[in-house]
Chains A and B, each alone.
Chain A
Amino acid sequence: MLKKRIIPCLDIANGRTVKGVNFLDIRDAGDPIELAKRYVEEGADELVFLDITATLEKRKTLVELVTQIASAINIPFTVGGGINSLEDAKAVILAGADKVSINSAAIKNPQLITDISNYFGNQCVVLAMDVKNTNGNWKVFSHGGKIPTDLDAVEWALEAERRGAGEILLTSMNNDGTKNGFAIEITNTISEVVNIPVIASGGAGTMAHFKEVFQKTKAGAALAASIFHFGEIPIPQLKTYLQTQKIPVRCL
Chain B
Amino acid sequence: MSAALIEAKNLSKTFPGKGMFRKSRPVQAVRGIDVSVARAEAVGVVGESGSGKSTLGRLMLGLMPATAGSVTVDGRPLSDFTGSEWRRLRQRLQIVFQDPYGSLDPRRRIGSQIADGIRLHGRGEAGEQVTALLNRVGLEAAHAQRFPHEFSGGQRQRIGIARALSTAPDFLVADEPVSALDVSIQAQVIQLLADLRRDLGLAMLFISHDLPVVAQLCDRVIVMYLGRVMEEGPARPVFHRPVHPYTRALLSATPRLDAARRKERILLKGDPPSPADPPSGCVFRTRCQHAVEACAQAVPELAPFGGDGRRVACIRAAEIG
Q: Do A and B come from one complex?
A: no
Chain B interface (Cβ within 8 Å of chain A)?
A: none
